[in-house]
Amino acid sequence: MWRKNKKLEFSTVTTRGGDTGDSFLYSGERRGKDDPAFETVGEIDELSSRLGVVKARIRAVEHRFATEIASIQTELQRVASMVATRPDHELAATIKAITDRDVEIVEKREADLLAAVEIAPVFVLPGEIGELSALIDVARAVCRRCERRIVTTIRDPALPRPDLHACQRYLNRLSDYLFIFGRYVEQHHRM
């Protein structure tokens, strides 16, 4: 947890270590910044940031969703940590891995929301009803991109990562949840 009284030094933030187009994964391997693992971690970071915007907006309407989104952001950090760490590295044991239980939790969230909305059998045009639902739809689209990137990482011939299959399923269910969440906001809050 970040402490407000802790000040980072410039050399901690700006190391210049990535100036050559390479960087280090959490488990220490140096790879190109365009490596599938870095692409995946970057997409997950974007998703978490976009969910942060949603969290800031929804907090005023339904605090329970702000708490739920914060939990999802923490789960996304776990996904990113797994992607950035080889499964055979000693640091892998320090990461709380995404499991089928996490997938089930997202499915439960999805089912709970689905009970409170009507889903028409038509394509959704984001932004037709409100800005917040459009922001959720942007997060959903980024989540789908995260899923595609993690599949690329799983199938990377240089270092196949079958240990990430639960993460891929988690992202798949999360995008479904976000779709339903957007419809929930349209039908219950119209903002």
Q: For residue 2, what pLDDT is reported?
A: 46
Question: How many domains are there within the chain?
Answer: 1
What share of the chain in percent tops pLDDT 90? 60
Is 21 inside a domain boundary? no
What CATH number has the domain bearing residue 79? 1.20.1200.10
Is 17 inside a domain boundary? no
- Identify each DSSP E strand in 20-149 by its residue range: 22-24, 30-32
Buried b (16+ CB within 10 A) or exposed e, 11-35: eeeeeeeeeeeebebbbeeeeeeeb
Q: For residue 20, what pLDDT is reported?
A: 62
Helix and strand counts by DSSP (H, E) for the chain: 6, 2
pLDDT band at 163 (very low <50, low <70, confident <90, very high): very high
DSSP SS3 for 60: coil
Full-model pTM: 0.86
Expressed as residue numbers, the domain containing 181 is 30-188
Q: What is the largest CA-CA distance in the chain?
A: 54
Is 14 inside a domain boundary? no
Of the ranges 23-27, 70-74, 181-185, which one carries the lowest mean pLDDT score? 23-27
pLDDT mean over 88-98: 92
Of the ranges 14-23, 29-38, 69-78, which one carries the lowest mean pLDDT score? 14-23
Does 69 score more than 50 pLDDT? yes
Does 1 score more than 50 pLDDT? no
Burial grade of 68 (CB within 10 A; 0-12, 13-18, 19 or more): middle
Reading phi first (left if > 0) and then psi (alpha if -120 to 50, else beta), residue 13 is in: alpha
Is 123 inside a domain boundary? yes
Is 1 inside a domain boundary? no
Is 34 inside a domain boundary? yes
Is 3 inside a domain boundary? no
Is 23 inside a domain boundary? no
